[in-house]
Amino acid sequence: MPTDIDITFEGDVAIFRVNTDLWYRAGSSLRDAVSRLIEKGYKKFVLDISYMKYLQSGDLGVLVSALMTIRKNSGNMVVAASESKFSDVLHLTKLNSVLAIYPTVEDAVKSFAGPPSAFKAASR
């Protein structure tokens, strides 16, 4: 049985696979993990929400909070959302203007390969 959040690494990129809702069950786990990894020097994060069933407003709050913490520490986070319904929610809430959204984790990780941009959001 998967945990609320599974953390894997690809090079210097930390990948969080969220297996449940963020705000109710996984929010504190995500905040704690982000803080620990920032302390260890990680600056590149992928949040894979493709295993979530839906996004609620509380989930978006946790997502924004994590993004703010990461950026305050000179890092960046992008989202992998294979379900178009998640991309639609992120577009409707205008989070796509501050948060890059990619269809797969692989694409999200590859986005860190080039020179750093000013956190330009991908509109996919």
pTM (predicted TM-score): 0.84
| Architecture of the domain spanning 5-110 | 2-Layer Sandwich (3.30)
- Per-domain residue ranges of the chain: 5-110
Using left for φ > 0, alpha for ψ between -120 and 50, and beta otherwise, residue 115 falls in beta
Task: Give strand pairing partners of 45.
Answer: 14, 77
Average pLDDT, the chain: 84
Task: Tell me the percentage of the chain whose pLDDT exceeds 90.
Answer: 44
Does 106 have pLDDT greater than 80?
yes
* Spatial distance between the Cα atoms of 58 and 44, rounded to a whole number of angstroms: 23
